[in-house]
Amino acid sequence: MLLLKPLRYTLLLFLSRYSLQIVPPLKSSLSLLNFIRQYMNYSLNAYQQNLTAAQAAHLLRRATFGPTQAEIASFTNLSATTAILNLINNINYMPDPPIDLESTSATAGQEYVTVSYNGNRGGDYRYFYKLWWLNMIMKQGGNPSIVDKLTLFWQNHFVTTQDVVDEYRAIYKYFTLIRNGITENNIQKGGILGNFKDMVYNISKDPAMLKFLNGDQNINGKPNENYARELQELFVIGAKDFAGNDNYTEDDVKAAARVLTGWNYSNFYTSGSTSVGTSFTSTKHDTIDKQFSLNYPDPVNPTLGNVITGRTVAPMGYSTAGDAELDDLLNMLFRHPQSPKFICRKLYRFFVNPNVTQAIEDNVITPLADIFKSQDSVTGRAFEVKPIIIILLASEHFYDVGNIGAVIKSPMEFAAGMLRFFNFPVPVIDSNNLTNSIKAFRSYTSFIYYRMVDMQMNILDQPTVFGYDAYFQTGYSRNWINTTQVGLRNSYTDNILFGYTTISPTGVTPVYKLKIDMLAMVDTTNAAHNSSIPLPPNYDVTNPVHIIDLVTINLFATPLSQTQKDFLIDTILLSLQQRSNWTTQWASYKSNPTSTSINTVKSKLENLMKYLLRMAEYSIC
């Protein structure tokens, strides 16, 4: 085993680099990969060693949309458990609400979600939600947390879209419901780290979801099956189990639809109203008993399918008959043996590795699901999300080398992560300079948003009810990459490297331009040098080996081979010149910084960074 580990690492690294296409010489690549995974650590026990910088970066890439160098340093040497707890404890559940970002508006800088409905501004307000979320993603509330990554997971799980829902207050209510849950009697119910069953209950009555999946059209005698189908297929159980067997029948969909009759959304597009809501109309509810198949056995007599009793009035403890039947329906769905596995498998693919093998299903997903469906020691309830996240992201398995660099970055991870890594902060909206600061804020967040749209990730507007292709289609995160998308990613990194985008309004000083200053990056005497970048031992800027070591620190999820480093130095940085030439050219620049000497070293450094950001390694995390 001592000899196998370095070999296993080399093979995994090789396979990851060619994950987008199987090269002809590697005809047995899948068999080789399966061989390698025989030695993967599947343990869900907490990883015991303190995190290295590379491991801290691994966690932060998966739990956020990309770390800064300072954040990586702050998580280095923490225990795995402490690290994930910090990411949870840093969550701000009360972010400032979105504000009007039209700088010429009389209400510029003011919140708009709790005031009277303004249909004339609906399109603006829906767009500003997207910029508001991007701002939270970039700023992280001052400390890195898992909140936005988990919010994306659940929003992509319980998909509704702005395009379909249209009503800006309903979208805000839906988004905060997913992110924060609701509070009843000082108890938080649902939310990204709350109880999954509560989350499903909340979302089933959410106004945006009722509109998106036609719940308002689901009435007695004319049932609409959209939500009943997605509730089972996409939200709770999954269409099939891991072996490919059906988890429910079409009759189960029809029966569930009848359970869900009678609900509607209220106050959409209503001038003068300050909120949207949900209503239940008993006369539109199907009060006849609903029979389900043996996929949902009766808890008393498992030889029979479950029956949900139709109700005309609300039983004690419920507001309506519809609430009681919804509760019965969810109790039945959550008894299905595939329910906990379905969610744990989906969390695993999102946070750890999209490729779930039979060994991972048996050794990771199944034991994790057993924990998920068991009563939590703190709350006394099953289906608590928080302990699953802690166990999974603190586990020995999460830090196994086979899971590092196993995911292709989403456009959000790629676009937002690059700006965070190279320290380009979001402009602050200043009440003393409202017009210009709003323009700068909007310029910055709009730049990220539209580049993400180009790369096929329009936030809060997934292409289908299934979510983004990369989170459900065969190939998973590989779906983010094709010939066009590689070109768009290259264009994006070139834009940031060479400073093609100016954020500050025309005429405003100081000018804020998104441009990587390569001279400042490598020169510790430069006033603009980022001191949070860790320096290689005995760092010497005149040594090209040290240059490579510095500019690649924490840049990639997987380490470069010596052959790659030599190629980067000799071919990319030095254009096949002698390495001593770099020492001479740098000395010339420092002693006599003319435009010629500056351009000589700067162009070499920029050419190096351009190549690094175009490497396949930069697109994996």
- Helix or strand run (H / E) with residue 604: helix 595-614
**Helices (H), ranges, 38-76:** 53-63, 69-75
Residue 188 is predicted with a pLDDT of 67
Cis peptide before 510 (omega within 30 of 0): yes
With beta carbons less than 8 A apart as the criterion, state whether 62 and 351 touch.
yes
CA distance 402 to 36: 9
Token pair 């939500």 is at which residue?
A: 227
* 8-state DSSP, 401: G
Query: What is the per-residue DSSP string for 84-153?
Result: HHHHHHT--SSPPPPB---TTSTTTT-B-SSS---GGGHHHHHHHHHHHHHHHHHHGGGS--SHHHHHHH
Residue 19 is predicted with a pLDDT of 40
With beta carbons less than 8 A apart as the criterion, state whether 417 and 409 touch.
yes
Quick check: helix, strand or coil at residue 178? helix
Q: What is the phi/psi pair of residue 318, to 5°? A: -120, 150
Q: What is the phi/psi pair of residue 16, to 5°? A: -65, -35
Q: What is the mean pLDDT of residues 508-515?
A: 92
Q: What confidence category does residue 597 fall into, taking pLDDT thresholds of 50, 70 and 90?
A: confident
Range with lowest mean pLDDT among 73-87, 201-215, 341-355, 586-600: 586-600
What does the block give as tokens for 75? 């998580």
**Helices (H), ranges, 394-482:** 411-421, 434-454
Closest to 10 (Cα-Cα) out of 556, 558, 614: 558
Give me the half-sphere count of Cα atoms (radius 13 Å) on the Cβ side of residue 181. Answer: 21
Q: What is the mean pLDDT of residues 572-577?
A: 95
Quick check: helix, strand or coil at residue 46? strand
Residue 141 is predicted with a pLDDT of 76
Residue 507 is predicted with a pLDDT of 82
Q: What confidence category does residue 26 fall into, taking pLDDT thresholds of 50, 70 and 90?
A: very low
CA distance 102 to 438: 8
Q: Does residue 153 have a pLDDT over 70?
A: yes
Q: What is the mean pLDDT of the chain?
A: 92
Over pLDDT 70: what percentage of the chain?
93
Q: 416-458 pLDDT, tens per residue? A: 999 999 999 999 999 999 999 999 999 999 999 999 999 999 9
Q: 226-257 pLDDT, tens per residue? A: 999 999 999 999 999 999 999 999 999 999 99
Q: 113-147 pLDDT, tens per residue? A: 999 999 999 999 999 999 999 999 999 878 999 99
What does the block give as tokens for 479? 């779906």
Residue 39 is predicted with a pLDDT of 80
Interior angle at CA 134, CA 132 and CA 138, nearest 5: 120
Domain ranges of the chain: 518-619
pTM metric for this prediction = 0.93
